[in-house]
């Protein structure tokens, strides 16, 4: 994992653009993904799936380039031997046992038959489907199918997996189990992950880094810790001279916003609290309330999407 | 201090450091999977009913002939081309019914997506599926022809002499087998690439072959009528000579309309291979429609039936590849 961090990024795009006819699914996206778990966060139709399909080489970019481990997967399919993909939609055969299906998928990814069977059995054990592995997939519950989908993405021991909405269609319990599996895959198995979700909770609890994407463009990206810090919001209520306060805050590099009766400021460091005090003094505004409101990713997301 | 005996250890996740194959391994694995899917292997008994039944149907004419050759003393050696004639429709039926199973469930279940993110291209996928089906049909066809060969050897007074005289039949029927299997593999698979329902694909293929047969026969059919001249002399009617007048609805174009029977496109080539068509005698009574069509086709330039066959294979073949290349995933 550390090698990847030092060398070329696992996933990289430059000016990546994808049009479907007149619809622009992705526009001029530059991103770099290194090791660990990266979350692609955005509402439905933001371009998350399109981005993943471009990195897998399932789609040809309209413009720009998508590279994975230094290769363009659309042109060189061999790189997919070390890539895994869990699609959002159904992708499992009805009349095959999970064991048979995983072994087949491992072989299609280049693993010889005798190793494929062992890998299939191990992988099913890791996702918690040991007992049921000789049953037809048709008989599985949604949660079990979702585990088989994850297992098939990992069965050939990829360097990186792309998980498209892995919690889609699961109940809260199933969601937490799936996210725990994703965390184990990243932390214990040492497999790098790109995970897409429209749920901030999923991304916040699972990922190291977040790329917020909307309308086919990246609007924010950074470490999860930065995101939660950055969203440490302060509410300032003043009785008068609000305009002057806004100007004074802006002068100090803060970006105040009006929200209802309050002035809202996003803080990046504690030093900036001093800046708020100084601005209040300079504006000679009468302070009524100064309160932190520790935000969550949802704030960022709402703000970005807003 | 170790207190545990026979404790179970979770070894945790193991990375795979062994050998990895490339595209060839991917295609080979898909081929094997296709082969198993066609025959319903690894699935319940119900999945095996159709393929087994259809395989028996394809082999039945040759098997019956073999049994006859052993028990009926007056039986005569039969031509391999004739047996292709007999099973070409059965092979089409087999393909029309079984081929959709190979492509449609993959697309409907979404498994195609999983294949296409693995180290292979859409061309590789189509090639693996196509050749798996081709393999199965070719084996069936050759079994049928080998049975005919065994029957002929049993019927010959001197089997060794028969083999020496007719050994060329073996490469011929193998080549003919390839010609017919490529045909019956490509068209049903191409149709299966465009529908989500197996039954529609099968019905479409069967209908296309069934409808064109009588249409072609009608348009190239020979009509004959007897005209008799009657003479009236002194109030008595006397019958003159009867003259048969024959002609075809489409006149000189009739030979072109034989091509309309698309299911017979490979048969025209096979007849050329076995030189049988020359033996057909139009004037002979009791010629059946198939012999007549075969004879009419020989009036066309040699390149025409070959080009027609090539068109009927390459056209659907290209459609099949195009469909998978441009598929929305």
Same domain, A209 and A292: no
| pLDDT, average across residues B56-80 | 87
Q: In which band, very low, low, confident or very high, does the pLDDT at B286 lie, cut at 50, 70 and 90? A: very low
Q: Nearest by CB to B29, which of A87, A107, A119?
A: A107
Q: Which has more pLDDT, B29 or B2?
A: B29
Q: Nearest by CB to A93, which of B29, B30, B105?
A: B105
Of A190, A222, A254, the residue at which a domain comes to its end is: A222
Q: Do A78 and B22 touch (CB under 8 A)?
A: yes
Same domain, A34 and A131: yes
Partner B contacted by A105 (CB < 8 A) = yes
B272 located within any domain: no
Same domain, A211 and A237: no
Mutate to test the interface with A, among B30, B39, B45, B118 (most CBs of A within 10 A): B118
Comparing A73-77, A134-138, B162-166, B220-224, the range with the smallest average pLDDT is: B220-224
pLDDT at B209: 87
Is the pLDDT assigned to residue A2 strictly greater than 90? no
Q: Do B21 and A110 touch (CB under 8 A)?
A: yes
Q: Which domain holds residue A172?
A: 2-222
Question: Between the ranges A13-17, B76-80, B272-276, B281-285, where is the mean pLDDT highest?
Answer: A13-17
Sign of CA dihedral B132, B134, B138, B140: positive
- Please give the ipTM for the structure prediction: 0.82
Same domain, A200 and A237: no
Q: Phi then psi for A59, rounded to 5 degrees? A: -125, 150
Of A163, A190, A222, the residue at which a domain comes to its end is: A222
pLDDT at B196: 92
3-state secondary structure string across chain B? CCCCCCCCCCCCCCCCCCCCCCHHHHHHHHHHHHHHHHHCCCCCHHHHHHHHHHHHHHHHHHHHHHHHHHHCCCCCCCCHHHHHHHHHHHHHHHHHHHCHHHHHHHHHHCHHHHHHCCCCCHHHHHHHHHHHHHHHHHHHHHHHHHHHHHHHHHHCCCHHHHHHHHCCHHHHHHHHHHHHHHHHHHHHHHHHCCCCCHHHHHHHHHHHHHHHHHHHHHHCCEEEEEEEEEEEECCEEEEEEEEEEEEECCHHHHHHHHHHCHHHHHHHHHHHHHCCHHHCCCCCCCCCHHHHHHHHHCCCCCHHHHHHHHHHHHHHHHHHHHHHHCCCC
CB within 8 A of B172, min separation 6: which ones? B80, B273, B274
**CB distance B176 to B79 below 8 Å:** no
B139 located within any domain: yes
User: How many residue contacts between A and B have a Cβ separation below 8 Å?
Assistant: 100
Partner B contacted by A112 (CB < 8 A) = yes
pLDDT at B29: 95
Q: In which band, very low, low, confident or very high, does the pLDDT at B241 lie, cut at 50, 70 and 90? A: confident
Please report which helix (H) or strand (E) contains residue A221, including its range: strand A217-223
B136 located within any domain: yes
Is the pLDDT assigned to residue A306 strictly greater than 70? no
Q: Do A95 and B47 touch (CB under 8 A)?
A: yes
Question: Between the ranges B17-21, B69-73, B298-302, where is the mean pLDDT highest?
Answer: B17-21
Same domain, A212 and A235: no
B245 located within any domain: no
Same domain, A213 and A258: no
Domain count, chain B: 1
Dihedral of CA atoms A20, A21, A23, A26 in degrees, nearest 10, equals 40
pLDDT at B6: 63
- The CATH number of residue A249's host domain is 3.30.70.1150
Per cent of chain A over pLDDT 70 is: 92
pLDDT at B5: 60
pLDDT at B289: 63
Domain count, chain A: 2
Q: Do B22 and A57 touch (CB under 8 A)?
A: no
**A184 → chain B, closest CA residue:** B13
**B24 → chain A, closest CA residue:** A110
Same domain, A191 and A208: yes
**CB distance A227 to A300 below 8 Å:** yes
pLDDT at B281: 42
CB within 8 A of A220, min separation 6: which ones? A210, A211, A212, A227, A300, A304
Q: Which has more pLDDT, B255 or B194?
A: B194
Interface of B with A in 97-126 (CB under 8 A): 105-106, 109-111, 113-121
Comparing A105-109, B217-221, B249-253, the range with the smallest average pLDDT is: B249-253
**CB distance B316 to B193 below 8 Å:** no
Is the pLDDT assigned to residue A303 strictly greater than 60? no
Partner B contacted by A190 (CB < 8 A) = yes
B151 located within any domain: yes
Q: Which domain holds residue B122?
A: 23-216+310-325
Is the pLDDT assigned to residue A230 strictly greater than 70? no
- The CATH number of residue A145's host domain is 3.40.50.300
Is the pLDDT assigned to residue B8 strictly greater than 70? no
């Amino acid at each position: 994992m550390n090698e990847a961090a030092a060398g070329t990024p696992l996933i990289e795009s430059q000016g990546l653009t994808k049009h479907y006819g007149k619809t622009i699914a992705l526009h001029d996206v530059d991103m770099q993904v290194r090791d660990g778990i990266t979350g692609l966060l955005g509402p439905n139709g933001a371009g998350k799936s399109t981005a993943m399909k471009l990195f897998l080489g399932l789609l040809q970019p309209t413009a720009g380039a998508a590279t994975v481990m230094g290769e363009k997967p659309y042109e060189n399919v061999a790189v997919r031997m070390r890539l895994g993909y869990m699609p959002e939609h159904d992708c499992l055969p009805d009349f095959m046992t999970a064991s048979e299906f995983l072994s087949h998928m491992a072989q299609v990814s280049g693993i010889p038959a005798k190793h494929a069977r062992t890998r299939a059995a191990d992988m099913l054990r890791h996702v918690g489907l040991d007992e049921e592995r000789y049953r037809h997939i048709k008989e599985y519950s949604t949660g079990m199918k979702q585990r088989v989908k994850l297992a098939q993405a990992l069965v050939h021991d990829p360097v990186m997996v792309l998980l498209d909405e892995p919690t889609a269609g699961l109940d809260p319990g199933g969601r937490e189990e799936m996210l725990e599996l994703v965390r184990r895959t990243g932390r214990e198995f040492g497999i790098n992950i790109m995970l897409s979700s429209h749920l901030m909770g999923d991304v916040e609890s699972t990922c190291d880094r977040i790329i917020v994407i909307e309308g086919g463009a990246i609007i924010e990206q950074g470490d999860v810790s930065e995101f939660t810090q950055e969203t440490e919001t302060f509410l300032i209520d003043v009785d008068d001279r609000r305009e002057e306060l806004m100007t004074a805050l802006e002068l100090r590099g803060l970006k105040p916003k009006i929200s209802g009766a309050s002035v809202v400021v996003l803080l990046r460091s504690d030093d900036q609290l001093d800046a708020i005090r100084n601005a209040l003094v300079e504006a000679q505004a009468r302070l009524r309330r100064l309160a932190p409101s520790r935000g969550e990713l949802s704030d960022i997301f709402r703000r970005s999407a807003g | 201090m170790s207190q545990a005996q026979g404790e179970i250890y979770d070894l945790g996740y193991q990375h795979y450091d062994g050998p990895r194959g490339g595209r060839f391994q991917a295609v080979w694995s898909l081929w094997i999977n296709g082969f198993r899917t066609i025959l319903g292997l690894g699935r319940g008994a119900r999945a095996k009913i159709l393929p087994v039944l259809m395989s028996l149907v394809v082999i039945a004419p040759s098997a019956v002939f073999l049994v006859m050759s052993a028990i009926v003393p007056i039986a005569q050696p039969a031509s391999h081309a004739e047996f292709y004639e007999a099973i070409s429709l059965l092979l089409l039926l087999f393909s029309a019914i079984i081929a959709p199973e190979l492509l449609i469930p993959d697309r409907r279940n979404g498994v195609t997506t999983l294949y296409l993110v693995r180290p292979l291209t859409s061309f590789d996928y189509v090639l693996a599926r196509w050749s798996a089906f081709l393999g199965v049909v070719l084996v069936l066809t050759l079994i049928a022809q080998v049975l005919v060969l065994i029957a002929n050897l049993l019927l010959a007074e001197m089997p060794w002499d028969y083999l020496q005289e007719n050994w060329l039949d073996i490469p011929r029927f193998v080549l003919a087998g390839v010609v017919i299997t490529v045909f019956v593999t490509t068209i049903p698979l191409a149709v299966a690439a465009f529908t989500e329902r197996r039954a529609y694909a099968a019905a479409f293929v069967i209908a296309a072959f069934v409808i064109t047969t009588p249409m072609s026969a009608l348009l190239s059919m020979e009509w004959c009528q007897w005209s008799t001249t009657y003479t009236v002399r002194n109030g008595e009617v006397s019958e003159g000579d009867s003259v048969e007048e024959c002609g075809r609805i489409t006149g000189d174009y009739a030979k072109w309309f034989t091509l309309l029977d698309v299911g017979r496109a490979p048969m025209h080539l096979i007849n050329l291979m076995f030189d049988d068509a020359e033996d057909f005698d139009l004037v002979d009574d009791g010629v059946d429609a198939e012999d007549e069509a075969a004879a009419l086709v020989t009036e066309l330039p040699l390149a025409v039936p070959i080009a027609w066959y090539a068109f009927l294979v390459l056209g659907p073949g290209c459609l099949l590849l195009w469909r998978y290349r441009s598929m929305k995933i």
